[in-house]
Amino acid sequence: MNNTFLRYLTVSITLITRAYSQPAISSVSVPVSLLTKHVYALTDDSFRGRETGTTGQLKAAQYCVQSFRASHLGSVFRVDSAYGSFYQPYFLSYSTISLVKTERGTLPLTYKRYELAPSPVTKWDSSQVVASHNVAGLLIGTDLKQEVVVISAHYDHLGYVEGRIHPGADDNASGTASVLSIASVFDSLARQGIRSRRTILFALFSGEEKGLLGSRYFVHNSPIPVQQFAGNLNIDMVGRIDYKHRKKPEYCYLIAGPKDDQLRKLVSAANKRSVAIELDYEHDSMNDSKQYFYRSDQYNFHNFGVPAVFFTDGEHPDYHRPTDTADRIDYQILSKRATLVFQTAWLLANPDS
Ligand SMILES: [Zn+2]
């Protein structure tokens, strides 16, 4: 028997699967219940505000890995060239700045300035070094599996500031919950035999609040060559509504690289066929006064030539304050924005051949 018939059969099955699955995909959404569960878990006091280099951040990393495992993702980082890991350890060093010069004089302000530290760290400088982890998991694609769509968010936050826990529900438990929940959605589709053509990398970075350091380490030390990244969809703060949209809360700011029009079109197409919320391009410029594009992890992907787009709700009075709590998140709009990212990822992961 030759394989012509087999090939015909495979093609037919593929076409049948596509015919049934494609219209269905646009009605797939990211469940409110899942997002709510993750946001409350990540903002629990036991995580202590998830500051990079603390036990709270490590606990958050463990929580994310547990969720990735439950979604049957594959490990991506190598350990001893044999075993896979969901963790990518890296080191940061800090120097304490005690006086800050401003235009009006010198302020007696103490803060720590962080940078990536070379590893392994020597014994004698370890007092000014902290260890941290990025977390990532992989869902292997079908015929285009060498091409990778990166869905990312940072999971760290500020920890304790002036004796108060900063839970960071919007910043960025909302984005982290989105990535974890989108992974679950992809997993449930995969278990029904519906898989994307490209591979999906779900990446959660620490070190963002210290200066986008986790994602910078990642792009410089990626286990998958960065050239294989088809695009980065980065989610940072997607659970609140800013003043501008208080009367029409179904929106999302989109900010992409100057050459990333294809990605803009894709988000727009994904939006039209699914949640149909307002896409706000007010800050979609490298010269925008808010400088949003430079202020989250997509910037590091952009610097490596990866098409990148940033999904965000903008800012609100609880930004970087102890009042950024889980009960203030709007879970309906969070679900719509997470669904928008899922739908965009699906289109990006299934290019027309
Ligand atoms: Zn922040």
Q: What CATH number should be reported for the domain holding residue 257? A: 3.40.630.10
Q: Is residue 50 part of a domain?
A: yes
Q: What is the pLDDT at residue 12?
A: 42
pTM for this predicted structure: 0.90
Alpha carbon distance 46, 10 (integer Å):
51
- Burial string for 193-222 (b: 16+ CB within 10 Å, else e) reads ebbbebbbbbbbbbbbbbebbbbbbbbeeb
Segments in the chain below pLDDT 70: 1-23, 81-83, 99-102, 104-109, 119-127, 353
Q: Is residue 110 part of a domain?
A: no
3-state secondary structure 153-207: EECCECEEECCEEECCHHHHHHHHHHHHHHHHHHHHHHHCCCCCCEEEEEEEECC
Distance 290 CA to ligand 1 centre (A): 14
Distance 173 CA to ligand 1 centre (A): 10
Q: What is the pLDDT at residue 260?
A: 97
- Angle formed by the axes of helices 331-349 and 261-272, to 10°? 120
98: tokens are 């005690």
Distance 1 CA to ligand 1 centre (A): 62
| Nearest one of 79, 206, 71 to 139, comparing CA atoms | 71
SS3 96: strand
- Is 258:250 a contact under the CB 8 Å cutoff? no
Would you list the DSSP string of 260-297?
Answer: -HHHHHHHHHHHHTTT-PEEE-TT-STT-TT-GGGSST
Distance 296 CA to ligand 1 centre (A): 8
DSSP annotation of 127 reads G
Q: What is the pLDDT at residue 129?
A: 86
| C-alpha distance from residue 221 to each of 65, 186, 214 (Å) | 19, 26, 10
Q: What is the pLDDT at residue 164?
A: 95
| Ion ligand 1, residue ranges at CB < 5 A | 171
Distance 5 CA to ligand 1 centre (A): 56
Distance 343 CA to ligand 1 centre (A): 25
SS3 213: helix
Distance 341 CA to ligand 1 centre (A): 20
Alpha carbon distance 312, 236 (integer Å):
6
Alpha carbon distance 174, 172 (integer Å):
5
Distance 307 CA to ligand 1 centre (A): 23
- Angle formed by the axes of helices 331-349 and 175-191, to 10°? 50
For residue 198, what are the domain limits? 28-91+131-349
Question: In this structure, how many other beta carbons lie within 10 angstroms of the beta carbon of residue 51?
Answer: 25
**How many domains, the chain?**
1
Q: Is residue 62 part of a domain?
A: yes
Distance 295 CA to ligand 1 centre (A): 9
Distance 60 CA to ligand 1 centre (A): 16
Q: Is residue 99 part of a domain?
A: no
Distance 246 CA to ligand 1 centre (A): 21
Q: What is the pLDDT at residue 15?
A: 43
Q: What is the pLDDT at residue 134?
A: 97
Distance 158 CA to ligand 1 centre (A): 7
| Nearest one of 196, 52, 27, 192 to 135, comparing CA atoms | 52
Distance 314 CA to ligand 1 centre (A): 11
Alpha carbon distance 68, 298 (integer Å):
21
Find the length of the chain: 353
Q: Is residue 195 part of a domain?
A: yes
Q: Is residue 331 part of a domain?
A: yes
Distance 119 CA to ligand 1 centre (A): 26
Q: Is residue 111 part of a domain?
A: no
Q: Is residue 117 part of a domain?
A: no
Distance 171 CA to ligand 1 centre (A): 5
Distance 320 CA to ligand 1 centre (A): 6
Q: What is the pLDDT at residue 7?
A: 42
Distance 147 CA to ligand 1 centre (A): 30
